[in-house]
Amino acid sequence: MDYADIPSVSQLNDYIKSRLEEDENLQSILVQGEVSNFKLASNGVYYFSLLDVEKNSSINCVLFKNNYQKLKFEIKTGDKVILYGAISVFTGRGSYSLKVYNVINQGLGNKLLQFKELKQKLYKMGLFDEKRKRPINIFPKAIGVISAKNSAALKDIIVNIKRRYPFCDIYVFPCQVQGDGAAKEILKAYFKSQEYDIDTLIIGRGGGSSEDLSAFNDETLIIALSNSKCPIISAVGHEIDLTLIDYIADKRASTPTGAAELATIDVREIKQICNSYENEMKNQIKNKLNSFITDYNYLKDNLHKSIKIKLENLIKQIELYNNRLNDLNPLNILKRGYSLTRKEDKKSVVKSCGDVNKGDIIFTTISDGTIKSTILEVTKNGK
């Protein structure tokens, strides 16, 4: 066998490209379906998928900016359209797509209509009412996570919870998150989570097309989630992706990392709060001490002044009383020319003529001594 005759991968892809692009039927075709995952790439090219919802089939499409600008409407995911274009092969990946030249809008596709109808139904049931939303306990003891096993989304959630708040337990309920049977798998994981004592339940996965996220629009699943015993955080897809689980959830995160941030407080924030409280407490204590010292000094000065005034007043009163006592002191009275007469026992004071008789001995005290006398005669006034 001559190995030189075996084509390389690039030769095979080039051959397929040439055969497909030589087929006139594939270079000028019309095809209808529903637009999915419509987005503008950084190179200015619009990429999307065209779906056959009933047959669960799709084809990749490419629409260049110059052709998009000719359209009289904006293409959106969920639109039912007819595309005119040509089959193109990208040999670098060995893939083919429809290069779109023109688009005819036929309105909303069946899938988007079904989504809107179910959304309206659940809304009327009150399941999306803001009053049903519960606050998230950012100091949890345990958090439950529903996501695909070994997925990047699951890893991001766990890593960020442990980084932010390593004190809580994490219970993982792995399940299929896209494809046939995904809704039932998610529902089964949800019921399992309700058997655990968790503060918050995070349901998350990475981004994807509307088909990839369709399991999160399942009516049975949404109604079941509305009865969750704990708050739910939805982290399904990217920020531009919206599923019905986002409306039933108590909080919605644009990324799995965002879900971890909504579910917990960062220990660094706790430290900052504690430091703030500590500084505030120190300042309050300092202010209290300064206020106490100021009050103490004020009271001390006032006390000294009050004591001084009291002492001065007491001294004045003592001087006044002393003067009064001096005025009443018998010795001082004697100095003014008065005398004090006592009987012979020197104890009894002679106050009237009736206190003595002729011949009694008396003692008369004057300012500079005492005179001993014998009474020769007692004469009363008027007699």
CATH number at residue 120: 3.40.50.261
37: left (phi over 0), alpha (psi -120 to 50) or beta: left
166, 249: one domain: yes
For residue 134, is it within any domain?
yes
What region does 382 belong to: left with phi over 0, alpha with psi -120 to 50, or beta? left
Q: Which of 73, 100, 71 is nearest to 84 (CA)?
A: 100
- Specify the number of domains making up the chain: 3
Tell whether 96 and 135 lie within a shared domain.
Answer: no
Domain boundary among 267, 291, 323: 267
Q: How confident is the model at residue 207 (pLDDT cuts 50, 70, 90)?
A: confident
Please give the average per-residue pLDDT across 107-111, as a whole number: 65
97 & 119 share domain:
no
CA 18 – CA 23 distance, rounded (Å): 9
Cβ neighbours of residue 37 closer than 8 Å, sequence gap 6 or more = 47, 48, 49, 77, 208, 209, 210
- Within this chain, do residues 223 and 177 fall inside the same structural domain, yes or no? yes
Residue 136: per-residue pLDDT:
94
Whether 48 and 92 share a structural domain: yes
Question: Do both 43 and 164 map to the same domain?
Answer: no
Residues 199 and 336 in one domain: no
* pLDDT of the residue at 352: 83
| End-of-domain residue from the set 250, 267, 284 | 267
Based on the fold, state whether residues 93 and 128 are members of the same structural domain.
no
Whether residue 337 is contained in a domain is answered as yes
Region of poorest pLDDT, from 113-117, 170-174, 208-212, 269-273: 208-212
Average confidence (pLDDT) over 155-170: 94
Residue 152 has pLDDT above 80, yes or no: yes
Is residue 251 a part of any domain in this protein?
A: yes
User: What are the tens digits of pLDDT across the range 60-73?
Assistant: 999 999 999 888 78
pLDDT above 90 as % of the chain = 26
- Please report whether residue 321 resides in a domain: no
Answer for the pair 228, 201: CB distance below 8 angstroms, yes or no.
yes
Q: Tell me the per-residue pLDDT of 113-151, one tens digit each, with 9 for 90 and over.
A: 677 788 888 888 888 888 899 999 999 999 999 999 999
Range of the domain at 14: 3-108
Q: Which three-class secondary structure state does DSSP give residue 71? A: coil
Task: State the pLDDT at residue 241.
Answer: 62
| Among candidate residues 108, 138, 164, the one where a domain is terminated | 108
Q: Assess whether 121 and 236 both reside in one domain.
A: yes
Indicate if 211 and 347 belong to the same structural domain: no
CA distance linking residue 216 with residue 182, whole number of Å: 9
Mean pLDDT, residues 314-343: 79
**Pair type for strands 57-64 and 95-108:** parallel
